[in-house]
Chains A and B, each alone.
Chain A
Amino acid sequence: MNLIEILSYSFIQRALLAGILIAVLCSVLGVFLVLRRLSLIGDGLAHVTFGSTAIALAFKLYSAASLLVSLPVVLLASLGILKLTEKARLSGDAAIGIVSAVGISAGIMLASVGGGYNVDLLSYLFGNILSISPEEVLVAAGLFCVVMVLLGLFFNDLLAITFNEELARVSGVRTKRINAVLVMLTALSVVLAMKLVGIMLISSLLILPAVSALQLARSFKTCIMLAALQGVCSVITGIFVSFLTNLPTSATIVFINLLFFGVSCAVRRLLIPRSAIPSR
């Protein structure tokens, strides 16, 4: 099957378009999150989304309308993770673990107490990159713009708190506000992108491009560029490889990211002299 034929399917066009936007978004956010030791926040917030979708279904709000409940709940949960790390002095993984466990238990509890629903909860929770509607491409584009503009506006402050929060605070950065911006942008992206492409893809795009880029990049900006590049390449190759090999698309994209990570590690060991790698 040739390239033109593959591209003639409009669901493939939409998968590529929305996939690329979401890949850039997640990869860039991922660099900040991985360095702030919040790598698993995607998974954690996905579990909270599960819980909040259970609430939404109890009020008979399906698909798009369920966002009315999910968005505020997940935004609050992301701030909760932040508060746990600040106030209770928990590490990021422990804080995410707590919020994630509570989120999924709340969902299971509500599903049982509510005596069932009119639809199957899980099947409505996750999107699939092959089933993106034209309206959802617009959602992805809007999300992309919002996140990129805000990241751009706060870039210097984000950079400052990512590398040395104490120093940033002393030099007048409002660290709490910047932290809140970062996790809330992540929450917004997770809730919306999960409905579009599913959580497995989001979670892996938040981590793998970032860690690969961190193997190679010597500056923060290069790192962000490399991460975004890997995210985009993995989505494009993933869709085509899935087409040619008849493998599930999202899972293929995850494996291609893993491959990129392996290559980055190898390149780092072979080509870059040890002294040139900044210590993290």
Chain B
Amino acid sequence: MKRSMLFVVMSIMAIAVIVLAGCKRRDQGASAKLQVVTTLFPLYDFARTIAGDQAEVTMLLPPGMEPHGFEPKPNDIIRISQAGLFIYTNRYMEPWAETILKGIDRQRLKVVDAGQGVRYVKASAEEGLEDGHGSHDAEGNAGGMDPHIWLDFANAGVMVNNILAGFVASDPAHAPMYRANATTLLARLADLDQRYREGLSSCGTRIFLHGGHYTFGYLARRYGLEYHSLSGISSESEPSAARMAAMVREIRSSGVRYLFAEELLSPRLTETLANEAGVSVLKLYGAHNLGKDDFERGVGFIDLMERNLKNLQKGLACRSK
């Protein structure tokens, strides 16, 4: 009796395994298109634009999540192992990307380090502050290099070219279309850069204060803004009471009317600072990721940067042309 039960159970399991294996195979057969897995939102958006309808691009990070807290699901690993192209930003931003790749057969998978060839800049939250102790630099990851390279649109262009090279190498048959899409995207980025340059050329103040973690260094450097953030690059660090007070004094003495906060993150600390100094809060997208609603609406990187430009112009009292 017991034996026969065991036999039945075993057969059911065997059948299930065969059926499931069959499904998997059919799955692979159907999607002859190039499968592309990206980590963060800018890469996803660039890759999606370059791909057109010739490749399927997915983003690993669930919408809304801060990249630090990401943990891959079994399906993510399967998706990467079946993909032809894996694109990540750099080892400062997604240290977990290299960990995931360790366990995956790299023979068929082409890996693109989108940040290759970009000039990285050190992040320093407290530069130029009267009583900045400067110790925060050391606690950022990997020597305090700022990983938010896409916020300099020239770097974004470098990233687009790196991604394009990955596409061309993985799927040479569609190379002309990928090149054409990338050219259009590069033109749009150049146009965005131009609009930022003009939009931020004559402003009431050039002091750009951010009540959060160091994020917008590249953007500020490109357009000649003086950027200071409440805390350093590491998203785990917390500001001290002294740092909070120093920031309040800086807001007051600089005479700015707006303090910036980052979208998706809780604005608690920023609001406390703003209330203390009597200024208002405006939000900017760091664009590592975007909210679920925006994601479903298909909002793109350039859209987010246009929203940023509007808020920057308002916050820095710029005259629009």
Binding site for B on A (CB under 8 A): 1, 6, 9-12, 15, 63, 108, 111-112, 114-124, 127-128, 130-133, 239, 242-252
Whether B240 contacts A10 by the Cβ 8 Å rule is no
Task: State in angstroms the CA–CA spacing of A121 and B241 once bound together.
Answer: 25
A121-B64 contact, Cβ under 8 Å, with A11-B244, A246-B240: yes
| Proximity string of chain B (265-292) to chain A, C-beta cutoff 8 Å, 1 when within and 0 when not | 1101101110110000000000000011
Contacts of A115 in B (CB 8 A): 62-63, 292
Contacts of A130 in B (CB 8 A): 239, 241, 244, 269, 272
Q: Is residue B7 contacting chain A, with contact meaning CB distance below 8 A?
A: no
Task: State in angstroms the CA–CA spacing of A124 and B65 once bound together.
Answer: 11
Task: State in angstroms the CA–CA spacing of A117 and B65 once bound together.
Answer: 7
| Main SS at interface, chain A | helix
Number of A-B contacts (CB under 8 A): 116
Whether B243 contacts A246 by the Cβ 8 Å rule is yes
Q: Is residue B295 contacting chain A, with contact meaning CB distance below 8 A?
A: yes
**Could you jot down 22 A-B contacts, CB within 8 Å?**
A11-B275, A12-B245, A112-B62, A116-B292, A118-B264, A118-B293, A118-B294, A119-B264, A119-B266, A119-B291, A120-B264, A121-B69, A123-B66, A130-B244, A131-B268, A132-B272, A133-B275, A239-B241, A243-B241, A245-B242, A246-B243, A247-B240
Whether A9 contacts B63 by the Cβ 8 Å rule is no
Task: State in angstroms the CA–CA spacing of A112 and B272 once bound together.
Answer: 31
Most buried by A among B243, B265, B268, B275: B268
Most buried by B among A120, A133, A239, A245: A120
Most buried by A among B237, B238, B292: B238
| Proximity string of chain B (200-219) to chain A, C-beta cutoff 8 Å, 1 when within and 0 when not | 00000000000000000000
A118-B241 contact, Cβ under 8 Å, with A9-B276, A11-B272, A111-B62: no
Contacts of B65 in A (CB 8 A): 111, 116-117, 120-121
Q: A123-B264, A128-B269 are in contact. List 12 more A-B contacts (CB 8 A).
A: A11-B248, A12-B245, A115-B62, A116-B64, A118-B63, A120-B265, A121-B69, A122-B66, A123-B265, A123-B266, A131-B271, A243-B242
